């Protein structure tokens, strides 16, 4: 009898402990929800605050909308604001859990976020509570279609792996993971089942993630793929993934050599017949043994940034109509300049081109190259980036203008000065040069952003105004930090420049360009 009493008391004690733990967990969830909603309520706009405003008949119009439409509206809100709507009424309480998009961004949920150790709620706690509350409803309709996890500090890959595995991959259409692991030598390995997703349309992976796809992997619906500074298990990991994407349209690839230290060999081979857009940031020094090969006959847009290796291969790209080229300079040699010109020659049908100042300087250094391509369809050309001390502006610009006989729009967008002697005149600028064909008959618009009023800046504008015979608009955006007196002096000086075109108007933007 005594033994039975002891067992009964023990069971009662355990039950009381279970109830207390459940109540404490509930209180923590309520405290988090109150904290989120109180913060979000202060941030809600007047439109959101009036979401529950009644009409003259006392009817709540918004709340009378169907769940599917309300969830669609909530999908455009930050997760904080979406959760905050649960306090409006019992009608709204479960709606945020039915939104098919779950966006877990540390910068949005933890403010400020650099040191979470002193925060009331850590990011991992918030993520787990959101996930728990969302999954409290069984078989939500619609199911989760998009999952975003951006974890920048003190990332715990175990929890991310758990969430990805818990998501129903049969319904997931978009996965966006950007992780910064506290121990970068222990990157997250994606679940094997993910490599066989038949529903994924968008896959974006960044930072401390290791790709180790099985040879038989397949992404039959994947159209957008972004891989930024991820690591690869072997030399063929990237090729395996690309070969598994038969309908890929958009590829963004950022390769950094320090993430390839675990591999003796690694080649970026992009052989995708359906690809329309390519962003390739190749931050791998030419002295390395890695190369890239691009063969994408349907490509329409390319953005290349980085170095050119000796063995890099770029096939002809006849359908490319827009390009952004930011080639880094690492070899002061004619051979490197020739490689850059050969690279540019593959883009012979381009209509819109953006060149970094460094790329333009390299091309100018190789201007004696025999087979300089002509861009017969180029109508818009832009020079952007930092101005270097050896920026012989008019000579470099003139070289490119001569290769674009149908150019209509010329843009400059400069930022900081790098080097000395920018205010000293360059005698080379006074040398007579022939007028490019485009400036005689096609160039109608020129926009210069970031004008400082240096000798080289002003001389370049003067040369363009003198040579452009059909120019209609010269728009000038001065740097915002220039004083009003300095701006006035620049304007007055520009107005005195001789203009070859009688219809040319100089427009000043008191801008906002910094």
Q: Which of 181-190, 246-255, 474-483, 491-500 has the highest mean pLDDT?
A: 246-255
Residue 501 CA to chain centroid, in angstroms? 40
The continuous run of DSSP H or E covering 13 comes out as helix 2-43
Phi/psi of residue 494, nearest 5 degrees? -65, -35
Residue, of 281 and 18, whose pLDDT is higher: 281
User: For residue 58, how many other CB atoms are within 10 A of its CB?
Assistant: 6
Q: What is the pLDDT of residue 349?
A: 93
* Helical packing angle, 157-166 and 123-134, nearest 10°: 10
Whether 104 has a pLDDT exceeding 50, the answer reads yes
Q: How many CB atoms lie within 10 A of CB 414?
A: 22
| The pLDDT value given to residue 218 | 92
| pLDDT of 306 above 80 | yes
Question: Residue 429 — pLDDT band, cuts 50, 70, 90?
Answer: very low
Residues with Cβ within 8 Å of 250's Cβ and at least 6 positions away in sequence, in order, are 223, 224, 225, 275, 276, 277
C-beta pairs of 111-117 under 8 Å, 24+ apart in sequence: 113/152, 113/153, 114/153, 115/153, 116/153, 116/154
Highest mean pLDDT among 35-39, 80-84, 439-443: 439-443
Residue 80 pLDDT > 90, yes or no?
no
Task: Tell me what the mean pLDDT of segment 254-259 comes to.
Answer: 80
Place of tokens 């918004």: 62
21-53: pLDDT as tens digits: 666 555 555 555 545 555 544 544 443 444 444
On the CB side of 208, CA atoms within 13 Å amount to 22
* 208 within 8 A of 184, measured Cβ to Cβ: yes
Report residue 422's pLDDT band, with 50, 70 and 90 as the boundaries. Answer: very low
Highest mean pLDDT among 54-63, 319-328, 424-433: 319-328
User: Does residue 60 register a pLDDT over 70?
Assistant: no
Please state, rounded to an integer, the average pLDDT across all residues of the chain.
77
What pLDDT, on the 0 to 100 scale, is given for residue 43?
A: 47
| pLDDT for 478 | 84
Lowest mean pLDDT among 69-78, 249-258, 378-387: 69-78
Preceding omega of 142 cis (within 30 degrees of 0): yes
Instruction: Tell me the angle at which helices 123-134 and 2-43 cross, rounded to the nearest 10 degrees.
Output: 100
d(CA 348, CA 335): 21
Using only the alpha carbons of the chain, give its radius of gyration: 30
**In 10 A of CB 39, how many CB atoms?**
14
Rounded to an integer, what distance in angstroms lies between the CA atom of residue 146 and that of residue 143?
Answer: 9
Both structure tokens of 98: 């039915």
Which has the closest alpha carbon to 475: 400, 393, 413?
Answer: 413
What is the Cα–Cα distance from 487 to 58, expressed in whole angstroms? 59
Percentage of the chain exceeding pLDDT 90:
22
Residue 55 pLDDT greater than 50, yes or no: no
**The Cα angle at residue 339 between residues 333 and 343, in degrees rounded to 5:** 150
Of the chain, the percentage scoring pLDDT greater than 70 comes to 71
Nearest to 272 by CA among 295, 291, 304, 302: 295
Classify 40 as helix, strand or coil.
helix
Between 479 and 430, the higher pLDDT residue: 479
How far apart (Å, rounded) are the C-alpha atoms in residues 323 and 151? 32
User: Which pLDDT does position 190 carry in this prediction?
Assistant: 86
Task: Check: CB of residue 326 under 8 Å from CB of residue 305.
Answer: yes
Average pLDDT score over residue span 471-490: 85
> Following DSSP, what letter does each residue of 292-344 receive, concatenated?
EEE--TT--EEEEEE---TT-EE---TT--EEEEEEPP---SHHHHHHHHHHH
pLDDT for the residue numbered 113? 44
Query: SS3 for 120?
Result: coil
Distances 427 to 159, 180, 358, 456 between C-alpha atoms, Å: 64, 51, 21, 11
| Closest listed residue to residue 323, CA positions, set 302, 309, 306 | 302
Given a contact cutoff of 8 angstroms between Cβ atoms, the answer to whether 77 and 122 are in contact is no
- The structure's pTM equals 0.77
* Rounded Cα–Cα distance for residues 252 and 228 (Å): 8
Domains along the chain with CATH numbers = 325-418+434-513 (3.80.10)
Q: Is the pLDDT of residue 424 over 50?
A: no
pLDDT, tens only, 113-147: 445 444 555 777 777 777 776 766 666 666 778 88
Dig out the tokens for 339 from the structure: 């490689």
Lowest mean pLDDT among 28-32, 53-57, 396-400, 481-485: 53-57
What mean pLDDT do residues 256-268 have? 74
User: Which range has highest mean pLDDT (3-12, 36-45, 157-166, 338-347)?
Assistant: 338-347
Other CB atoms closer than 10 Å to residue 477's CB: what's the count?
A: 19
Burial class (CB within 10 angstroms; exposed 0-12, middle 13-18, buried 19+) of 352: middle
Q: What's the helix, strand, coil split of the chain in %, to 5?
A: 35, 25, 40
């Amino acid at each position: 009898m005594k033994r039975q009493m002891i067992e009964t008391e023990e069971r009662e004690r355990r039950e009381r402990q279970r109830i207390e733990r459940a109540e404490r967990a509930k209180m923590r969830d309520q405290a988090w929800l109150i904290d989120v909603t109180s913060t979000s309520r202060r941030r809600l706009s007047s439109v959101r605050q009036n979401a529950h405003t009644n009409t003259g008949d006392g009817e709540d119009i918004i709340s009378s909308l169907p769940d599917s439409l309300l969830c669609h509206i909530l999908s455009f809100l930050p997760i904080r604001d979406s959760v905050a709507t649960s306090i409006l009424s019992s009608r709204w309480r479960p709606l945020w859990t039915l939104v098919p998009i779950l966006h877990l961004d540390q910068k949005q949920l933890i403010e400020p976020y650099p040191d979470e150790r002193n925060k009331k709620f850590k990011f991992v706690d918030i993520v787990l509570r959101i996930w728990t509350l969302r999954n409290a409803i069984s078989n939500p309709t619609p199911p989760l279609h998009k999952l975003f996890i951006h974890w920048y500090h003190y990332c715990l890959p175990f929890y991310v792996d758990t969430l990805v595995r818990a998501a129903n991959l049969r319904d997931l259409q978009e996965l966006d993971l950007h992780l910064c692991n506290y121990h970068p030598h222990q990157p997250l390995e994606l679940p094997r089942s993910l490599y066989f997703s038949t529903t994924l349309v968008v896959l974006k992976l960044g930072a401390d993630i290791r790709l180790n796809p099985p040879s038989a992997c397949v992404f039959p619906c994947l159209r957008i793929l972004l891989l930024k500074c991820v690591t690869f298990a072997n030399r063929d990991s990237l090729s395996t993934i690309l070969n598994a994407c038969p309908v890929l349209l958009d590829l963004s690839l950022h390769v950094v050599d320090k993430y390839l230290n675990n591999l003796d060999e690694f080649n970026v081979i992009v052989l995708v017949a359906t690809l329309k857009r390519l962003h390739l940031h190749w931050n791998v020094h030419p002295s390395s043994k890695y190369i890239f090969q691009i063969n994408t006959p349907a490509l329409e847009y390319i953005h290349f940034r980085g170095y050119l290796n000796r063995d890099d291969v770029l096939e002809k790209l006849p359908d490319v109509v827009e390009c952004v080229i930011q080639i880094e300079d690492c070899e002061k040699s004619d051979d490197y300049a020739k490689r850059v010109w050969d690279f540019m020659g593959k883009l012979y049908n381009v209509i819109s081109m953006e060149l970094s100042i460094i790329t333009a300087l390299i091309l100018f250094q190789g201007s004696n190259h025999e087979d300089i391509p002509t861009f017969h369809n180029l109508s818009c050309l832009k020079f952007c980036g930092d101005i270097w001390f050896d920026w012989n502006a008019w000579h470099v610009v003139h070289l490119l203008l001569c290769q674009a006989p149908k150019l209509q729009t010329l843009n400059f967008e400069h930022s900081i000065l790098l080097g000395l002697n920018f205010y000293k005149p360059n005698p080379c600028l006074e040398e007579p040069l022939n007028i490019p064909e485009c400036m005689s008959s096609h160039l109608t618009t020129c926009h210069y952003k970031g004008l400082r009023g240096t000798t080289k800046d002003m001389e370049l504008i003067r040369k363009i105004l003198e040579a452009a015979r059909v120019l209609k608009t010269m728009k000038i955006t001065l740097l915002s930090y220039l004083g009003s007196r300095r701006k006035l002096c620049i304007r007055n000086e520009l107005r005195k420049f001789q203009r070859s075109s009688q219809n040319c108007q100089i427009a000043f933007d008191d801008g906002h360009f910094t």
